[in-house]
Chain A
Amino acid sequence: MNPAIEIRGLTKRFGALTALTDVDLEIPQGEFFALLGPNGAGKTTLISILAGLARADVGSARIMGHDVVSHYRQARAALGVVPQELVFDPFFTVRETLRIQSGYFGLRNNDRWIEEILARLDLTAKADSNMRALSGGMKRRVLVGQALVHRPPVIILDEPTAGVDVELRQTLWEFIRQLNADGHTIVLTTHYLEEAETLCQRVGMLKQGRLVALDSTRELLMRFSGVRLRLRLSDGELPEALKPLVTSASPAGEWLLGLRDHAQVEDVLAQIRRSGRHVVAMEVTEADLEEVFVAIMQGN
């Protein structure tokens, strides 16, 4: 079975700026994948190359086995992209927009699926409104609809929830999750790391055009973080032996320790007891993807 996305040695330059450097990435069919990185890391450039909106200087990219340059028609037919920019054609209504997009993909009688898309994205009431009359969130939904008109096996969403209210975010994720459950491969870029953490099986992180991390979400969380222990003690002072674990301390006498795992909590408490102090307040939290992200981007 061909991978949904296969990227080999991809390099892209814009004049003096190198946007991507030798990126290799393979995403198997059916995966829910997050592509993360700060602004300017190369996420959108990578997506543009996959979508045929930009051309790589070196390397190749395939969608479902079709090269994005030499077999661009098959590659594009297998791909649905939700662009980051909120773009629309002011001449048309929502339904016209979706019908026209179907036509570009060679589909004539697609109304049944279009109606379903409209319903799933809560757009039915707006189907005959002109695009200009829609709010930003509504326009974003139409963009998602346009990416789905041809039921592509691979769907890329470039920050689909930027500037979208909480309610829509949830409806949107429910729909996308359903598509993933139906076998569609989903690639997502987002600034909301908790979205990536809850939705995605695997995460790739880009930094200055290089892929600096690529692993399952669970592995990344384990490898880079472990457990955070927040403590306040009876006399405010921490035993000397625990000082190396401190990641931060507040003037109010609150200590934050970074631990390998939950088992280490027991050792810490034992040390505190031995020093004759006792715990006034305590909180154990697991690190989230945001901390992993920050750690990787800072080069640790």
Chain B
Amino acid sequence: MTGFLTLLYKELLRFWKVVFQTVAAPILTALLYLLIFSHVLEDRVQVYPRVSYSAFLIPGLAMMSLLQNAFANSSSSLIQSKITGNIVFVLLSPVSHFEFFLAYVAAAAVRGVIVGTGVLLATAAFISLPIHNLLWILLFAVLGSAILGVLGIVAGIWADKFDQLAAFQNFAIVPMTFLSGVFYSIHSLPPFWQQISHLNPFFYMIDGFRYGFFGVSDVSPLLSLGIVAGALLALSFATLSLIRRGYKLRA
């Protein structure tokens, strides 16, 4: 337990020491998105009845920032440790496979949730959001950031150089978050693209999260919860087996 707590503490301290880069910057980016998109679209788009476009956008932006930062935390920490070689300090220790996994996921989730909360708080100054059910909000925030934390572990272990990690981020994570309904409801899409969107697991994270605020969603929040929780379990299982085999970590 102490091994896990120490690794978690180390991971938290790592991003907290560069908090401007790891927390403040993504919050500012989300505010810029809000400023621009709401300025352009506020009077032209209404996704749900009685919900302004800006209000619709905010949970999406918060979730997008949360997901991207959770991924960035575990992936960048692992690849930095691998490239500088200091990953050896953990590998030499009796920290178990599961503790190792859990510490990286938990630290990623903490950073994700802090950034997501930061976006919500920062935007609260401009637009007040309803809260339909806080439990759904928290549930999807934690599950979503955990999934991306796990994906970050996979990417961080797999990538041998920063370039490969950036490719994973730019060609997989970013498109999947952008196309998951952050900026629009998938009901506004042609039927074909609606079907495609249903294959994107990120869509369920954002849709479920948004349900917590408005009590309205594109699909049932229970379905979203099932898919998101199932994805987390399956990914965790696969990732733990990678760690247990020592894939790219132990020769």
Stretch at the interface among B2-10, B29-37, B168-176: B2-10
Q: Do the beta carbons of A53 and B9 come within 8 Å of each other?
A: no
How far does the Cβ of A118 sit from chain B's closest Cβ, in whole Å?
A: 17
Q: Which are the 5 A-B pairs with shortest beta-carbon distances? A: A103-B6, A104-B93, A87-B85, A54-B251, A73-B94
CA distance A91 to B86 in the complex (A): 11
- B95 contact set on A, CB distance < 8 A: 104
What sequence of 0s and 1s flags, for each residue 5-39 of chain B, a beta carbon within 8 Å of any chain A beta carbon?
Answer: 11101100110010000000000000000000000
Q: Which of A48, A90, A91, A105 has the most chain B CB atoms closer than 10 A to its own CB?
A: A91
Q: Do the beta carbons of A106 and B250 come within 8 Å of each other?
A: no
A192 at the B interface (CB under 8 A): no
CA distance A91 to B9 in the complex (A): 13
B residues within 8 Å of A by Cβ? 1-3, 5-7, 9-10, 13-14, 17, 81, 84-86, 88-96, 246, 250-251
How far does the Cβ of A207 sit from chain B's closest Cβ, in whole Å?
A: 21
CA distance A15 to B15 in the complex (A): 38
In the complex formed, the residue of B with least CB distance to A73 is: B94
- B91 contact set on A, CB distance < 8 A: 51-53
Q: Do the beta carbons of B6 and A72 come within 8 Å of each other?
A: no
A101 at the B interface (CB under 8 A): yes
Q: Do the beta carbons of A76 and B2 come within 8 Å of each other?
A: no
Q: Do the beta carbons of B17 and A85 come within 8 Å of each other?
A: no
In the complex formed, the residue of B with least CB distance to A45 is: B251
Q: Do the beta carbons of A52 and B3 come within 8 Å of each other?
A: no
User: Looking at the complex, which one of B6, B17, B94, B250 makes contact with A55 (CB distance below 8 Å)?
Assistant: B250
CA distance A228 to B15 in the complex (A): 62
- B5 contact set on A, CB distance < 8 A: 103
16 chain-A/chain-B pairs, Cβ below 8 angstroms: A51-B92, A52-B250, A53-B251, A73-B96, A74-B94, A76-B93, A83-B92, A89-B86, A92-B10, A100-B9, A100-B10, A103-B3, A103-B10, A104-B6, A104-B93, A104-B95
Q: Do the beta carbons of A104 and B250 come within 8 Å of each other?
A: no
